[in-house]
Chains A and B, each alone.
Chain A
Amino acid sequence: MAANRNPERVEVCIIGAGASGAAAAKVLTERGARVVTLERGPWRTRETFGGDELANVNRYNLWPDPLLNPRTVRTDGKADTREELFCPVPQMVGGGTVHWQGWLPRFTENDFRFHSVVGDVPGATLADWPITYDELEPYYDKVEWAFGVSGLAGANAFESRRSRGYPCPPMPMSRYAEKFHRGCAALGWNSFPTPQAALSRPFDGRPATVVSAFAQQHGDPTGTRSSALNVFVPDAVGTGRFDLRPNCYVREITLDERGRARGAVYEDAEGDVFEQQADLVILACGAIETARLLLLSRSGRFPNGLANGSDMVGRNVTFHEYSAAIGTFEDPIHAWAGGGYVSASSFQFYDHDESRGFAGGGHMAAAGVGIPLPINWSLPDRPAWGAGAKAVDREFFDHTMAAAMVVHDMPQHDNRVELDEEVVDAWGLPVARISLTPHENDLAMGRFLIDRNAEILEAAGATRVQRVYIDRITGNCSHQHGTARMGDDPETSVLDRNCRAHEVDNLFVVDGSPFPTGTGANPTLTIMANAWRVAEHIVDTRNAADTRAGVPVGGR
């Protein structure tokens, strides 16, 4: 390291340029801060994306390659660990938003006080959030309007207060969305067009989104979907205060003599190692990798990992679980159209209801079956090969859809991310090891929601319905939260209400790690809104300090 000349110190160093890191970079740079972001993956442009199912879904063109970035999993504290690409997220500028279709529901008021609403659940470590829905609402609004989210305000009967509507009307209605609406209507249940990170009409100088079949798990060659890559990164670059360095893999967060964060040690594409020093360090690596980086950053002061005197880093991890009831219809559904996720949703069974016998609920929505493209589409009972398999493809590919759900899995003390003791990645660093046991509440909720989904499909006229219950948490949502909880008590949380580490006062975390509970809804809108909130808090605090010190705003 000493052989290399370190880059100039900056005000803020962000680790990770995905949804949360890019949101924070946009807000900080627009408000005058100089920011360096270190992103381990490439900075890909839209010209590098295409309509290629094989490359994108099957050959790790966007997914992390498990030979380079393995993870290990054990289903409880005792079982053998195995290598598995658990809960992957693309590692590149834009992160998961590069290849998503962006379902962007808001959480509800009760999500922020879930423990108070449902009470104690044996075995679960429930906690209320230290912030309220009302505190986050202005930031939901900011993200929705920055992205140009397409949706219909008021259509979700269970949504909490919103200060204004969506910037764009809902996306066009797919046939699978139509079936879902029809089924819900027949049952007397509320449904609404899924708010989406796409433009139903031109917005803010950007053209309407192209409705391709190559969308879910594909990058966008047209640049018309809404993502951190397409929206926040250009905004930050436009300020002239943003230095985004791709292919820079952070190995450790360093400390100064006072025990504050000094900066980040990183390896660039050539394998050279540098230290980027900063007044303030923000972690935005996703809940698994943020926990891993904290645990990798050991020192005399923090022998068990940075900001981990409480032994809470990596614990209470939640992942959601995605599964579905699958319906077959006489008429073609074309559930590959639009990529399979231009959808309809219901929060009918989202809020807690004591009478169901489990805590909480989840988001239900229409979709294609899995990745509903020719290679990766399948049905639960399709044979692996032979004439039978061919017949299933031929008869059902165009006639099936999913009514899917997101399970709100319960946080548990021993469900955690640690460093593996044996397996290292292609850079020689210990990989994340995930220990995970499903809670019985998770499985009961899954059964309940999938049964309701089956009823929707039946009410919509499906001729055959298959229920795919969950029996474990596989990380198949790529949603990850809870490994660095925010809370008011340093004994039971890693971060304070502003996502600043209790133990390191210039270290912040803005991805899903701070979430005390995972909720039953897709998290990225809330992750971005919270990152925006934290970034504004950082600038406001800094400006207040500067005012006291006589430094003009933006004058550093």
Chain B
Amino acid sequence: MSEHAGFFDAQQRATVEAAMARIIPTDDAPGAREARTIEFLDRYLSGIDFIYAKPDGSGFERLEGKRAEAWRRRVDILRERYRTGVEALDRTARERFGEVFAELPDEKQDEVLSALEGAADAEQEARLERARMQLYGAPVEVALQQTSAEVDLEFVPLLALHTRQGFYADPIYGGNHDRVGWDLIGFPGPESLAEVHSGRYSTLEYFAEPPVHPGQED
């Protein structure tokens, strides 16, 4: 994936990148900035050319028909949410601290994010709660499946979700640079999608020792 036109302009990109760096901050270990989650997101919002990697890692799927229509709709909705979200970040930053979001120190950026997060009214909150339950598996219940509609999320939870995705998704999507996300949590992900696709990727070495059931030891 060499050159491609992303979605954000330079100012939007800097603002979102700064916000992502508060979602997963850099400390003694890499954070969103080092993982290049902004690259992941900018690519996602660029259109429908980077929705699904080909399972052997050789590129991206070309979407057609109803599937393509649905993804165009979804990306349009998400773009609008980011447009207005970035505006809200800067507006709130100026109102509270007299500067645009990206220029603020960490703690003040956190305050702005918290303020936006808390601004949702009761109905939005209820919607968020439902989505959170299914999408994150947290905090209310552990979902077996994450199937809620991404498009239902408000800006801050959406940003948190995309930061997390960009931090932990397969590096082919542009984030998780140098596998810093996987390394942070100790996930021995595959070398590449091709390793899984070819059947060479196994996690048997992480099973019990010996990996047999009581009574089956021979």
Contacts and interface: CB of A to CB of B under 8 A. Distances in A.
Interface of A: 47-55, 57-59, 61, 63, 65-68, 83-85, 88, 152, 155, 169-170, 172-175, 177-178, 181, 193, 210-214, 217, 221-222, 224, 269, 322-324, 326, 332, 334, 336-338, 342, 369-371, 373-382, 384-387, 389-390, 393-394, 397-398, 402, 426, 468, 470, 474, 476-478
B208 A175 contact: yes
B105 interface: no
30 contacts: A48-B55, A50-B197, A52-B52, A54-B165, A65-B67, A65-B70, A66-B149, A152-B216, A155-B215, A170-B213, A172-B207, A173-B207, A174-B207, A210-B199, A210-B202, A221-B198, A334-B203, A337-B204, A375-B165, A375-B168, A375-B169, A384-B156, A394-B185, A398-B186, A468-B141, A468-B142, A470-B141, A474-B134, A474-B141, A476-B145
Contacts of A376: 136-137, 146
A370 B137 contact: yes
Interface residues of B, number: 83
Given A50-B193, A85-B147, A178-B208, A211 B202 contact: yes
Secondary structure at the A interface, as helix, strand, loop or mixed, is: loop
A61 B52 contact: yes
A52 B29 contact: no
Contact of A211 (B22, B25, B168, B207): B207
Interface of B: 22-25, 27, 29, 31, 51-57, 65-67, 69-70, 73-74, 110, 113, 117, 130, 132-134, 136-151, 156-157, 159-160, 163-165, 167-170, 173, 181-182, 184-187, 189-190, 193, 195-199, 201-204, 206-208, 211-216
Contact of A380 (B110, B142, B198, B215): B142
Given A51-B190, A212-B203, A370-B142, A181 B185 contact: no
Nearest to A472: B141
A334 B206 contact: yes
Given A50-B193, A375-B165, A384 B187 contact: no
A47 B193 CA distance: 12
A523 to B, nearest CB: 14
B204 A211 contact: yes
Nearest to A177: B208
Contact of A386 (B22, B144, B167, B216): B22
Given A65-B70, A374-B181, A476 B134 contact: yes
A169 B147 CA distance: 34
Contacts of A370: 137, 142-144, 146
Nearest to A42: B67
A32 to B, nearest CB: 36
Contacts of A224: 199
